[in-house]
Amino acid sequence: MAERVRIAVIDSGVYPVHPHIVAARILPGVAIAADGTIAYGPEKATDQLGHGTAVTAAIQELAPDADVLPIRVFQGALRASARALVTAIVWAAEQRADVINCSLGTPNATHAALFDDAVARIGAARLVAPLVGGDDAPCWPGQCAGVVAVGLDWDMPRGVARLDGGVWYAAGYPRPIPGVEQLRNLHGVSFATAQISGLIAAGRLD
């Protein structure tokens, strides 16, 4: 039997009992502190903010049979250090992740070399990240060579992607909730990134 695709989700963790989450496909995760320290344990990757759970749900909607490895880098707010991110990227590759979803990044170009080094160490894993941030500023690791760069296109339907100039574009809507109107999210590129990761994991993108 072929092994299932493994997707690492670098975010705020996941809340496994959420109704949109396929709990049977959630692997034991970790939390990574600002200094790069890795904390192991059954509760370390539990989401306290909701963002990682929503991103994971968007991925699982498109790739429900993939295994998800949550890596928590957001603690009390949606902020993480460059050291935490590069540690998460390298650790995910060491855990044999096929796809590494990083729905976040930094506009600080002084960290570019740090991210370039991390990307060079991930082997065959495919790192998926936003090319630019919410203010259209260049964003790392999405700017690194070899990364699957993602852009946001609100006019696209969910579950599809288009390639333009080496960048994959997708819609920014999270997984829909029945009876609740779909609204634009401030961090729409987070969910565009999740959709690209899900499509890659499902074998629907080259």
User: What's the pLDDT at 182?
Assistant: 57
User: What residue segments make up the domains of the chain, in order of their start?
Assistant: 6-201
Tell me the pLDDT tens digit for each residue of 88-115: 999 999 999 999 999 999 999 999 999 9
Tell me the pLDDT tens digit for each residue of 179-201: 555 555 546 899 999 999 999 99
For 23-84, the DSSP string reads: GGGBPP-EEE-TT--EEESTTTTB-SSSHHHHHHHHHHHH-TTSEEEEEE--SSSS---HHH
Task: Give CATH for domain 6-201.
Answer: 3.40.50.200
Rounded mean pLDDT, 58-85: 94
Pairs from 152-156 (Cβ < 8 Å, separation ≥ 24): 152/188, 152/189, 152/192, 153/192, 154/184, 154/188
Q: What is the CA 28 to chain-centroid distance, rounded?
A: 16
Tell me the pLDDT tens digit for each residue of 39-71: 998 899 999 999 999 999 999 999 999 999 999
User: What's the pLDDT at 75?
Assistant: 85
Beta bridge partners of residue 127, listed in sequence order? 100
Length of the chain (residues): 206
Percent of the chain with pLDDT strictly greater than 70: 93
Average pLDDT, the chain: 92
Contacts of 21 (CB under 8 A, 6+ apart): 14, 15, 53, 56, 57, 60
Per-residue pLDDT for 120 more than 50? yes
Q: How confident is the model at residue 138 (pLDDT cuts 50, 70, 90)?
A: very high
